[in-house]
Amino acid sequence: MNRRYLGILPLLALLATWQAAVSAELYPPVLLPSPLKVANAFVLYAPTIAANAGASVLRVIIGVGLAFITAVPAGLLIGRYQLLDEITDWSIQVFRSIPPIALIPLAMLFFGIGDTPAIVLIYVSALWPLLLNTIFGVRGIERTLLKVAASARASESLVLRDIILPAALPSIFTGLRLAIGGGWLTVVTAEMIAVKSGLGYMILNAQMTFRTELIFAGIIVIGIIGLLGDQSIRRLRKRACRWQEGLTVSEG
Amino acid sequence: MSAFIECIGVGKTYMAKQGAVEALRGINVRCDEGEFVCLLGLSGCGKSTLLQMIAGLELPTTGQIIVAGRELDGPSPATSIVFQDHGLFPWMNVLSNVAFNLKARGVAKADRVARAEEMLSLTGLSAFASRFPHELSGGMRQRVGIARALTTRPRALLMDEPFGALDAQTRGHLQTELLQIWSRQRTTVLFVTHSIDEAVFLADRILVFTPRPGQLAAEVVVDLPRPRVPGTPGFAEIAAGLRQALGSEGGSE
């Protein structure tokens, strides 16, 4: 059997348990819809689900993208220059300890209701894992490589571009995975409070209108998109860091 | 005439947690152009530190180092260094690795590729230009390191235990190849090793270091004709003398 798809087994077991719980009428059907009813909801509400999923995904892409283009250069510089590290260390430790969700009330006060507060919150949640992992990646560089650059009298810009950046790349990808994961968690939460579209909003709305099958469908879509996002970053990392093969134990 | 590399009263003291550690004291070394000089000593005797300072990667605490007529304040363009752990960039293929030192000097791409290919052919690596370091054996990686060091036509090659991590057979091959490159390119070689046999096999002159603090204990001129054969009477005699100079702990191998 192909081991690649082994990961589906626990999910199938969960599905079977769900069906068993429905058959045993553990909860009233209006609370716990059957898998079939949820599958039907996917068909019935397909346009709604697609539109809201699209809105959520777009917000995450914009928020994480903005975080990426700020955190990666900043992290490369902080990792490279001890002085910058000493200046920023405390601030980073303070701000990264604040859960982005705690900032929702502030974000709504400053940016109202809509895309802006959601994107700001995603940005904040994606910034720290990207920044910290980039710094970590730069720190982990082999000392000899920097000596090679120094003895070749390479310019700072060449060192940053040809040595520091590629050396940190595997770690940057780890940061990106965490950032997308964190951004995805944040977007759903933010949409339940600060936005009137997206999967989070859709789920909350379904609750208020008592369509539990749509709540379940929404939750499933959130999970699947999370999985796809993670897989595509892994694949991207494998391609970009092919030189790493044989150097480290594969992270799969 | 002044020497090509000259160390005058060089000392190095590190600040460590336990206090100041004196790694080297009062080193006077002269090395003429074209010479093959080995720095021999047990680990911790400061021989690598001295090489790093001659490479301009560290500054001496006392004394001065003069390379190609100029007192060092950083790496000199007249020298190239080869490291024990080869220092190849794992994300660059062999050709890009070899061309890196020229890229750092702002040499145009076509020119640096041509020069890199020339050095690859000199070190027998032409077939591996597009490979990545992790696809190569230890001996081949070190060849790449040597090829890279040679691209800038250095007047001196500084080698920090370059063959220390290799198996005996590969090490033997590379020693012979290095002597060929040296005799063809006529560069000066300053070679750090802890192996007595390696020093006797390679060097015109051997500088013996003793530890705590690192000091120059003896200087031995090797006037055996090349290629030298370990185990022959002349070879063994010099090796025995070196073993004694290194002190009671004796050298490895």
Residue B237 has pLDDT above 90, yes or no: yes
pLDDT of residue A250: 46
- Asked whether residue A250 is domain-assigned, the answer is no
Helix intervals (H) in chain B: 47-54, 94-104, 109-122, 138-150, 168-185, 196-202, 233-246
pLDDT of residue A246: 60
Domains in chain A, number? 1
At A35, is the pLDDT very low, low, confident or very high (cuts 50, 70, 90)? very high
Nearest-CB residue to A247 (from B79, B90, B152): B90
Give per-residue pLDDT as tens, B161-195. Answer: 999 989 999 999 999 999 999 999 889 999 999 99
- Asked whether residue A36 is domain-assigned, the answer is no
0.95 surpassed by complex ipTM = no
Percentage of chain A exceeding pLDDT 70? 96
- Asked whether residue A188 is domain-assigned, the answer is yes
| DSSP 8-state symbol, B224 | P
Nearest-CB residue to A243 (from B57, B91, B103): B91
State residue B42 phi and psi, 5-degree precision: -75, 165
Q: What CA–CA distance (Å, rounded) separates B167 from B148?
A: 22
**Mean pLDDT over each residue of chain B, to the nearest integer:** 92
C-alpha torsion sign, points B98, B83, B190, B237: negative
Q: Across residues A115-119, what is the average pLDDT?
A: 94
- Exposure string (b/e) for A48-65, b if CB count within 10 Å is 16 or more? bbeebbebbbebbebbbb
Residue A167 with chain B: CB contacts under 8 Å = 91
Task: Provide the chain A residues 123-152 that lie in CB contact (below 8 A) with chain B.
Answer: 142, 144-145, 147-152
Max intra-chain CA distance, chain B: 55
CB distance B55–A244 less than 8 Å? no
The pTM of this model reads 0.87
Cβ atoms of B5 and B29 within 8 Å: the answer is: yes
- Asked whether residue A179 is domain-assigned, the answer is yes
- Tally helices (H) and strands (E) across chain A: 11, 0
Domain that holds residue A102: 55-195
Residue A31 has pLDDT above 60, yes or no: yes
Alpha-carbon gap: A141 to the closest alpha carbon of chain B (Å):
10
Closest CA to A247 of B62, B223, B217, B91: B91
Q: What CA–CA distance (Å, rounded) separates B50 from B71?
A: 15
Domains of chain B: 5-78+154-246 (3.40.50.300)
Q: What CA–CA distance (Å, rounded) separates A175 from B103?
A: 30
Q: Across residues A105-132, what is the average pLDDT?
A: 95
Q: What is the DSSP string of B97-119?
A: HHHHHHHHTT--HHHHHHHHHHH
Q: Across residues B130-155, what is the average pLDDT?
A: 95
pLDDT of residue A248: 54
Q: Across residues A53-75, what is the average pLDDT?
A: 97
- Asked whether residue A28 is domain-assigned, the answer is no
Cβ atoms of A192 and A204 within 8 Å: the answer is: yes
Give which of B83, B91, B96 to mutate to test A binding, by max A Cβ within 10 Å.
B91
pLDDT of residue A3: 81
Nearest-CB residue to A147 (from B80, B87, B89): B87
Residue A248 with chain B: CB contacts under 8 Å = none
CB distance A148–B75 less than 8 Å? no
At B251, is the pLDDT very low, low, confident or very high (cuts 50, 70, 90)? very low
CATH number, domain of A112, equals: 1.10.3720.10
**Mean pLDDT over each residue of chain A, to the nearest integer:** 93
Give per-residue pLDDT as tens, B75-108. Answer: 999 999 999 999 999 999 999 999 999 999 999 9
Residue A32 has pLDDT above 70, yes or no: yes
- Asked whether residue A40 is domain-assigned, the answer is no
Q: Across residues A68-91, what is the average pLDDT?
A: 96
Q: What CA–CA distance (Å, rounded) separates A202 from A217?
A: 10
- Asked whether residue A110 is domain-assigned, the answer is yes
Give per-residue pLDDT as tens, A138-178. Answer: 999 999 999 999 999 999 999 999 999 999 999 999 999 99
CB distance B83–A148 less than 8 Å? yes
Q: How many CB atoms sit inside 10 A of residue B215's CB? A: 18
Q: Across residues A176-183, what is the average pLDDT?
A: 95
Give which of A151, A155, A165, A249 to mutate to test B binding, by max B Cβ within 10 Å.
A151
CA distances from A68 to A62, A128, A132, A161, A240 (A): 10, 10, 12, 16, 16
- Residues in contact with B39: Cβ distance below 8 Å, sequence separation at least 6, in sequence order: B47, B50, B51, B190, B191, B192, B193, B207, B209
Q: Is A163 in the B-facing interface, judged by CB distances under 8 Å? A: yes
Nearest-CB residue to B100 (from A147, A152, A244): A152
CB distance A148–B80 less than 8 Å? no
Alpha-carbon gap: B247 to the closest alpha carbon of chain A (Å):
31
- Asked whether residue A10 is domain-assigned, the answer is no
